[in-house]
Each structure stands twice: as C-alpha cells, then as structure tokens.
Structure 1
C-alpha cells in the first residue's frame, strides 16, 4: 500500500481536525501530517524541546510531520504542536500554569489554541478538548516545553492588585 501525505493545514483552526479526519480516516497506515511551520521554526532554541517530545499524549501516538519544529499526535491527529510562533505579549486571556509552564489559552469552537507564555520562541498547541483533555496534553508536554527557558511568568489579577501603586 502506498501512503500519501494527508492535508492538515494549520492556518485555519476550524479545518484542523476535520482535515486530519478526512485525510487519514480511510488509510491503513499513518500518513505524514501536513503542518505549516511557524515563522521562527528555524530558531535553534526549538531543537531541545523537539527532541524531548513524548512518544504519546494520552492514547495518541506521535506521528511524522512535514515541517520543521512541528509535531502531531493521533491518527487522525488530535494534537498539533508548532515551535517558533509569535511570543504572546501582555494579555487578558486566561493563563494557566502546569508543572511550571505557563500557557495562554484561547478557546475556539471546536479547537483550542494554547501558547507558552514567557518563553522565546513560543510554542503553540492546537487541540479539540472534546477529543483529548487539555490537562492531559499540557501535563504530557510540560517536560519538553520546559527545555525552552522561561524569562517571565503569567501575572494574575491577585498579583496585579498587590503591585506597588495599584488601587485595591
């Protein structure tokens, strides 16, 4: 049997999981996942993280991708990772810390985008929380994400209120 790359464009989040389902649902082998590389994917700081990625997240196994500093898990893909995305600046978006790694969460329908905060280059994860729990993904990826050193942390509302000069 000849396996062809599936089409899994990352540009349109809404197409992410649908493309993976359509591209690989009827094949007997796991095709290479087509993931668009991030703008700063060639940043050498991505390399230590990429070699530390887990072989699986939950029950989803790691698959081959066709772009530098990218990864995908599951067949069809349920998690897609890209290193070298734009570093998030100050934000009012929800930020969570899992095993010492801060993540900014943007909830989409159905795909969530989780981006490391305070690490350069930043890493982005796309997932559908109906298919795999975000807590599982972040716990399983925290060791690898920690290979990129943190330069700052998320600051919550409580910390802002305690800053000198803040009005309480």
Structure 2
C-alpha cells in the first residue's frame, strides 16, 4: 500500500527532472530595459520570424516576447534598444531596413538605424553572411517607422 505513493512520487520527481533539464537548453537572453512595457516592441514580437537563415526558433529563458532566438549557436533578437546616433560604423540597407553592423568577439551585432525603439540582432560568427540571416527580420523592423534618418 505504501509502494504506490512512492512510485507516484518517483514518477513526479523524474518528470520534474526532465522538465528542468529541458530548461537548460533554453537560450539565456536578457530583455532590454523597458522593452516589456513598450507597445511597439509587443507589435514587433508578433513579427519575429519562424526561421532565420534556415535555423528553427528556440525557447528563451526570459519570460518576454521582446526577445527571440534561432539555431545553435543562437541568433538572438531583442526589441527595445536605444536607437544609435550618427556613427562611422558600417551601415547596411538590407531589404529597405538600415542596420548598423558592429563586430563583437563572437560575431556581429546588428542594430536598426533610424527607428525608435531599435531592434538588436546578435549573429554568431558561425553564420557566414548577413545576407542569409538579416532579411528574416525585415517584417519585424518594418513595424517601427524609420523617422530618425537613414544610412547615407
């Protein structure tokens, strides 16, 4: 009579362990400050792509729709970045969206230019070119009007 509750408890603990191990595969992403309260970022999140550069979407550890991830290593997108001001960094027009490209230790950080709030996309160096990755973000970026200038 006491065995059945133990088996149930054991099954529950195994289920908990499986659930927790699934969480460890979630991409650790920190939402940008204030993004969750920004109604524009909520609209942007509705346009996060299903795939990026052929990579499927991934679960993020953040409880926020303003962040998203794809592939392994993860391509990460976040809405709510401070719009960059004038810069000498490379500015690219990709499908009508201006992006500032800044090399980082393990890839490139792309930030929309001329849009408030800005969208930031972190692309690991394993993904060869922005031409394969960045077009996936056109619909999300187009949610935010380009009112603060453009690449020249």
TM value normalised by structure 1: 0.71
1:111 maps onto 2:129 in alignment: no
Taking the aligned partners of 2:23 and 2:128, their CA distance within structure 1 comes to 23
Q: Secondary structure at the match of 1:142?
A: helix
**Is the Cα contact below 8 Å between 1:63 and 1:73 reproduced in 2?**
yes
Q: Distance in 2 between matches of 1:142 and 1:56?
A: 13
Q: How far is the alpha carbon of 1:111 from its aligned partner?
A: 1.9
* Structure-2 separation of matches of 1:44 and 1:63: 23
Matched, 1:5 2:1: no
Decide whether the 8 Å contact of 1:40 with 1:85 is kept in 2: no
Query: Which has more radius of gyration?
Result: 2
Equivalent residue in structure 2 for 1:41, among 30, 35, 41? 35
What's 2:68 paired with?
A: 71
Flag structure 2 segments of 5+ consecutive residues without an equivalent. Answer: 1-17
Q: CA offsets, 1:99-151, max 9 Å, x none?
A: 11100010123221000011111110101233353212111111121111111
User: Alignment length, in residue pairs?
Assistant: 131
The aligned counterpart of 1:53 is 48
Runs of 4+ in 1 over 3 A off after TM superposition: none
Structural RMSD (CA): 1.7
More strand by share: 2
